Amino acid sequence: MKPIFRFFIFWFLYALVPHLIAQTSITGMAFPAIGDTLLIATDRLPYQIIIGEPGPARLWDFTSLKAPFAQRTLIVPFTNRSSIPELDEAEAVVAGFGEEEVFVRFTADEVLEVGRKIPHPMDESITINGYYMKPRVLFQKLQYLDKAEAEHILVAPFHALPEAARNPVERTRRMPGEIRFVRIIREERHADAWGALRISSFGRYNVLRQKVVEEISYGYEVKDDAGNWVAVKPSNMNLPTLLPEKREYYIFWSDELRQPPAIVFMEQPGLPRVHKIMYKPLPFNSRVVDALPNGAEVIAYPNPTFDFVRFDFMNLPDGNYFVDIYNILGMQIRSFEVDVDGYTTSEFDLSDLKKGTYIYRIRNEQNRTITSKRLIIIQP
């Protein structure tokens, strides 16, 4: 056979391989289990990512993803009995994912969420333990084009609320056992695409994509004279009104991993702009932490870099901050202003700087230095 024909046959087979090994279904092989350790990184500025249209044989290129660190998330046995009896049916806890903990149990075909510790919608510094009226499916066997709709009700009894969340309720003068906090999730799921997902030069996975649209509402319920729980308007009890939320995200499932290789959160439902991406990083290419920083911190990455550098601002008061870049002689050569609102990520182009060591200084509007560290520029 002539070399030219071998060349064309090779490329024909190379193009055909994704179709032959397509991930058109998800089996129990993809389910996490007790003892597993999951690594999760988050890119909060994924401006180059395109989610694409639904359909078969798609290719997603996520190789531009960046994150300052990967967080270690453990799946451990649930041994500490809680003050909420409904949580006692949990077999394991997914611990270490931010401030949230997820209580789960396992069946042959599913991983079910029994309850969850969530931030209070009015104050994220307050966490609430709650249980689901009916367990919520986290992992299940899945086929391309599968669709499902469901409603999930998370209940937090009064005694399980932290003191800061109980105070406004106690002012209603109702008995603690007669009131509870609820979060209602109405969701639609659709396995709308399959194909190949590239996260790095070494990370390529055959995936099945599942689109999820959620409508989340919050409220309070009280017991009537017949002992039934009924919803009440917060304004009737001098309680704060909690605004509903709606979100859209895409889960990329793969039987090659014990966790989804990527979850893409959209800026707004129905719009193409991506808000953030949680993904599985390569462990040898990531700084791994057990928990998010508790104190104020600013991280520059990648460091070393040769073009763009990102700054993640964590746990800082909202306001304007300044990023000053100095050369080794102490001369200021760049200054950028950043409007910080919660966890904020900003990116700057430093490709015109010469190779060498620099210092970056972060200061607030009062000119007080938050931190100063080294930044290394290298040649590509």
Q: State residue 303's pLDDT score.
A: 94
Q: Is the pLDDT of residue 223 over 80?
A: yes
Say how far residue 103 (Cα) sits from the centre of its chain: 17
Mean pLDDT for 130-145 is 93
Q: State residue 22's pLDDT score.
A: 60
Beta strands in 224-304, from DSSP E residues, in sequence order: 229-232, 245-253, 262-266, 274-279, 288-289, 297-301
**Longest Cα–Cα distance in the chain:** 89
Q: Where are the alpha helices (DSSP H) in the chain?
A: 3-20, 163-170
300 vs 69: CA distance, rounded Å: 11
Q: State residue 96's pLDDT score.
A: 62
Q: Is the pLDDT of residue 170 over 60?
A: no
| pLDDT tens profile 241-252 | 778 999 999 999
| pLDDT tens profile 64-102 | 999 999 988 889 999 876 678 888 899 999 876 555 789
Q: Is the pLDDT of residue 7 over 50?
A: no
DSSP reduced 3-state for 263 = strand
The per-residue pLDDT of the chain, averaged, comes to 85
| In the chain, domain spans | 19-285, 293-377
380 vs 371: CA distance, rounded Å: 28
288 vs 308: CA distance, rounded Å: 22
3-state helix, strand, coil in the chain (%, to 5): 10, 50, 35
Q: State residue 236's pLDDT score.
A: 66
**Predicted confidence band of residue 11 (pLDDT cuts 50, 70, 90):** very low
How far apart, in Å, do the first and last CA atoms of the chain sit? 41
Q: Is the pLDDT of residue 342 over 50?
A: yes
Q: Work out whether the CA dihedral 168, 172, 177, 182 comes out positive or negative.
A: negative
| pLDDT tens profile 274-293 | 999 999 998 766 788 877 77
User: What are the angstrom distances between the C-alpha of 4 and each of 7, 8, 9, 10, 16?
Assistant: 5, 6, 9, 10, 19
More confident site: 335 or 14: 335
DSSP reduced 3-state for 285 = helix
Architecture (CATH level 2) of domain 293-377: Sandwich (2.60)
Tokens representing 338?
A: 């950043």
User: What are the angstrom distances between the C-alpha of 365 and each of 296, 307, 322, 334, 370?
Assistant: 16, 27, 8, 17, 11
More confident site: 332 or 99: 332
Q: Is the pLDDT of residue 43 over 80?
A: yes
Give the DSSP H or E segment for 96: strand 92-97
Mean pLDDT for 52-72 is 94
**Predicted confidence band of residue 302 (pLDDT cuts 50, 70, 90):** very high
Q: State residue 20's pLDDT score.
A: 42
333 vs 134: CA distance, rounded Å: 59
**Predicted confidence band of residue 169 (pLDDT cuts 50, 70, 90):** low
Do residues 94 and 101 make contact, with C-beta atoms less than 8 angstroms apart? Answer: yes
Half-sphere exposure of 94 (CA within 13 A, CB side): 25
